[in-house]
Structure 1
Amino acid sequence: MAPIGNAILELETLEQIVLQKETVSLNASALDAVNDCFDFLEAFAQDKLIYGINTGFGPMAQYRIEDKERIQLQLNLIRSHSSGMGQLLSPLQARATMLARLNTMMRAYSGIHTDVVKLMAELINHEAYPCIYQHGGVGASGDLVQLAHLALGLIGEGHFQFRGEIVKASVVYETLKLKPLQVRIREGLAMLNGTSSMTGIGAINVVHARKLLTGQILFSLMVNEIMEAYDDHFSEELNGVKLHKGQQRVAKAMRVISNKSQLLRKRHEYLYDKKVTESVLEDKVQEYYSLRCVPQILGPVYDTIEYSAKIITQELNSVNDNPVIDYKNKNIFHGGNFHGDYVSLEMDKLKIAVTKLGMLADRQLNFLLNPSLNKKLPAFINAGVLGLNFGVQGMQYPAVSNVAENQTLSNPMYIHSIPNNNDNQDIVSMGTNAALICSKVIENTFEILSVHALAIIQAIHYKGFVEKLSPATRWMYDELSVLAPPFVEDTPSYERLGKVKQWLMETEVGEKMKALLGFE
């Protein structure tokens, strides 16, 4: 059980809660602080005009609200902004949104009753997620529409994703024997103001991007093994003189992963320690860029992912409500912590990096399928009768299709600010859109890598190289060849590709490699 409150919520913990369904608990001292903040606001708000408690919202803040209508004001805010459209957030995205909102509320700067966080924890632990729609947020006053749908579920209205079905909120509360939230002071505004949806989705994106990077490093090494390439392009001596952390880290990983491989060649053994007399060399002296420049291509991807991880972690643990209820200093501060520019920019950068990763996988795939390029494999790695059988030919199309879609989707969202809300929100972040588009790019890239993986398995088997692989790449081969065995006859491939995609998305490849190899 993962405690929420006081300690920083790291992405590794978020992954365990969101992807592995670990339950959460609420830190007792943090819960006390939430209660202290509520008590302060309740006392402080007497006979004062405070935005969002006894005023309207946004451009209607000039209108004073009578005390008897305060609760109705909060309910009206939730209901009026539950206007989302399009597809629902996935259960993972909804769970991450709830966790992100719970974590920021446990910082004790929102003036909410402890019933809010207790109910959210219960719903997370029972895998009950209010239906939240993709379309609606502009990411400036926070994820107003997405979080309104979350709040709508908390007050017992709307629908939930629950046990594989879409059901009315009343069914969830009756089944779990829970009571919907009773709004007290500003629970409506506190729920809506914030970046929790874009941040939760962004956190999943970073976790998945790390999986993609680890997988593509392994696949790149396997392609080099298939081609019996020289290993100096990821040597410490070569990469150490290029002063980028990501490049050096990728090169180091490739050195560790390739340890004990019987396929990679030492340049000095073939070209330097003996006299070369051939006028025309059968093997290329230098490999194609997609094989030789892996550290230089995936290094920036590594750096981008890890910087995004830093920013998302900071946002995940920030107070992004407005106003901020500072019970310690006995005051309330107004501003724009709900603005999602940090997340929006990182999601744009992340999707560009992931798109490039997918482009590298696609070029390596094309290299394996084209005998004019690799000189060592039949066309489309066809183990059957050329002309009669097709090998991997039909599977290349979805990979190329996804690359093209990613390239189109990688145009930035961050710069597409459109004023709205009677120009009160005159510059916005579009952070949730950016996070959702990034999520699509990432899923597309898992599909690209699925095709790439199947081709690699086919090539290794065709060459008879299984026993010569390094221990790390042999592990990957063994895992994937169970899902997508090498083949001769043509059969529908969509189920195999789907299984590989699911494995790549769900398996903790990075952790497996750390355990197997001991690298950072």
Structure 2
Amino acid sequence: MITVGQHVLSLADFNDIVFKQKPVTLSPSALTKIETNFKFLQSFSSNKLIYGINTGFGPMAQYKVSEENLLALQYNLIRSHSSGSGNLLTVRQTRAVMVARLNSLIQGFSGIHTDIVELLVTLINKDVTPCIFEHGGVGASGDLVQLAHLGLVLIGEGEVIYKGSIQPTSEVYESLGIKPLSIHVREGLATINGTSAMTGIGMINIVQGHKLLGWSAILSAMTNEVVEAYDDHFSHELNIVKHHKGQNRIALMLRDILKGSKMIRNRSEHLYRPDNIDQEIFEDKVQEYYSLRCVTQVLGPIHDTIVNAEEVLTNELNSVNDNPVIDHVNQNVFHGGNFHGDYVSLEMDKLKIAITKLSMLSERQLNYLVNDKLNQKFPPFVNLGVLGFNFGMQGVQFTATSTVAENQTLSFPMYVHSIPNNNDNQDIVSMGCNAAIMTSKVIDNTFAVLAIQMMTVLQAIDYLKCQDRLAPHTLSVYNAIRAFFPVFVEDTPKYKDVERVKQFLETNDPNID
């Protein structure tokens, strides 16, 4: 059970709720704070002009709304902005959006009734998932369209995914005895005016980004291992003279993964022997290709990018990100733009660029393994069958190459792609939700690329019959995946194998910390 509102919600807490589906409960002290905040707004808003309570929204804010229409105004806002299109967010992404919105509202500066946070907890715990579309929000005034679809479900309308199928919200509520939300003052605006869609999806991206980094380190280590590379490029001594935390962290990871390997070579023992100096041409390569030798320098900045994104997104997750801020502590209502998603947008752009580079490293290591002219160790395409008759990993390399190419195109930044809209009221926007969704696509693509590389590395191990020389950690990875992806010689369709290995990487922790 995870208590929301009791302390800062960490990435680990988020992971427990969204990925492990641990139930949620609300902090009693946080509920008390929400009640105090709500009563303050009720009193303070009497005879005052406050945006979104007795005015229209956006460029329509200059129009006063009559007393008898105040509550209907909030319903109109939700219904009118439920205008998304494209694919639905995944169930996991939508659960993440709900957690992010709940954690913002629980801060107690949104002027809401406790009904809304209690309903969100009920939906999360009962696995009732609103149908939210990918397209719609521009990421300033928050994720208006995506969160409007959440609001539509809160008031008992629209559709939800429940028990694996799309069903009318009203029918699911009736079957579960759930009462739709009744608007009290500003629950409509408080629901849709925030960064919770981009933040929730972004937090998932960070969880999966950490996982990709771990698997990339393992695959880089295994690739170095099967080609019997030298150990100095990931040594403490070489990396410590470059003062980047990420680079040194990756170097340590590689050393831990390869501890006990009988294949990684020590340069002193092989190349520093006196008899080598008399040779005109060295049979051994003095230095490996960059995709093998520069792993710490390539994955290091990716590590640091993920760590920085985690800090920024966790701050956003625990922030009040709607407008205006209802401040019962200072007895005032402050108008501004906490709904603006630039922090998230910029971090998602940086993250997707970093993950794209990770996929590029994987593709180059894959190319090294399948190209016999480069590795001079394996048959073409690590083909364990008859050359010319069988094809080995030739077909799946095309998939890896085309997928990395798509990642490179998707890596154009959304952060600098503001388009004014809303009658130019929103004249500079973040496109944060677009950035987060595109990053999730890059991450999904990259798991597929790493799956293809993993399949190739395993075939290389079987070609060498070197299982007894592998490091204990890499051998455990080999055994875990060979349990459902056996060695192959004859050509068979590989698309289901790619998907199975991909799902393994997505759902299993690399366990290298």
Output one character per residue of 1:123-170: Cα deviation in whole Å (capped at 9) or x when no partner: 001111111000000001000000000000000000001111111001
Per-residue displacement from partner, 1:401-444 (whole Å, max 9, x unpaired)? 11000000101111111111011000000000000011101100
Give the drift of 1:319.
0.6
- Map 1:73-112 onto structure 2 (within 5 A): 73-112=73-112
- TM-score calculated relative to the size of structure 2: 0.99
SS in 2 for 1:489: coil
Aligned length: 512
Q: Secondary structure at the match of 1:332?
A: strand
Answering whether residue 419 of structure 2 is matched by residue 381 of structure 1, we say: no
- The alignment's TM-score, normalised by the length of structure 1, stands at 0.97
Instruction: Tell me how far 1:175 sits from its aligned partner.
Output: 2.0
| Matched-pair contact (CA < 8 Å) for 1:194–1:338 | yes
- Give the SS at the match of 2:286: coil
Shift of 1:66: 1.1
Corresponding residue for 2:117? Answer: 117
Equivalent position of 1:505 in the other structure: 506
Structure 2 counterpart of 1:427: 428
Whether the 8 Å CA contact 1:484–1:497 is kept in 2: the answer is no
3-state DSSP of counterpart to 1:275: helix
| Partner Cα separation in structure 2 for residue 275 and residue 236 of structure 1 | 28
State how far apart, in whole Å, the 1-side matches of 2:2 and 2:279 are: 64
Segments of 4+ moved more than 6 angstroms:
none
Query: How far is 1:448 from its partner?
Result: 0.4
1:471-490 pair list within 5 angstroms: 471-490=472-491
- Counterpart residue identity of residue 513, structure 1: I
Q: Which amino acid aligns with 1:7?
A: H
For residues 391-402 of structure 1, the aligned pairs below 5 Å read 391-402=392-403
Contact kept in structure 2, 1:458 and 1:486, CA below 8 Å: yes
Aligned to 1:212: 212
- Measured after TM superposition, the shift of residue 270 of structure 1 is 0.9
Contact 2:38 2:112 in 1 (8 A): yes
CA distance in 2, matches of 1:380, 1:271: 29
- 2:366 corresponds to 1:365: yes
Cα RMSD (Å): 0.9
- Code of the aligned partner of 1:96: A
Match of 1:141 in 2: 141
Report the secondary structure of 2:275's partner residue. coil
Alignment match, 1:518:
none
SS of the residue 1:492 aligns to: coil
Correspondence for 1:234: 234
Q: Name the counterpart of 1:468.
A: 469
Structure 1 residue matching 2:190: 3-state secondary structure: helix
User: Offset of 1:295 from its aligned partner?
Assistant: 0.2
Whole-Å separation in 2 of the counterparts to 1:120 and 1:238: 52
Query: Which residue number in structure 1 is paired with residue 300 of structure 2?
Result: 299
Distance (whole Å) between structure 1 residues aligned to residue 130 and residue 271 of structure 2: 64
Match of 1:269, SS state, is: helix
Counterpart contact for 1:6–1:107, Cα < 8 Å:
no
Other-structure match for 2:352:
351
Contact in 1 for aligned 2:256/2:512 (Cα 8 Å): no
User: Would you say the 8 A contact 1:78–1:188 is kept in 2?
Assistant: yes
- Aligned equivalents of 2:485 and 2:355: distance in 1? 24
Say whether 1:42 aligns with 2:55.
no
Structure 1 residue runs of 5 or longer lacking an equivalent are 515-520
Contact 2:325 2:335 in 1 (8 A): yes
CA contact (8 A) 1:391 1:490 kept: yes
| C-alpha displacement of 1:172 | 1.5
Match of 1:413 in 2: 414
In structure 1, what is the Cα distance between the partners aligned to 2:36 and 2:471?
Answer: 58
Which residue in 2 is equivalent to 1:517?
none
What is aligned with 1:71?
A: 71
Q: Distance in 2 between matches of 1:166 and 1:352?
A: 34
- Amino acid across the alignment from 2:78: I
Identity of aligned residues (%): 57
The secondary structure found in structure 2 opposite 1:483 is coil
Partner Cα separation in structure 1 for residue 256 and residue 506 of structure 2: 23
Report the Cα offset of residue 44 of structure 1: 1.3
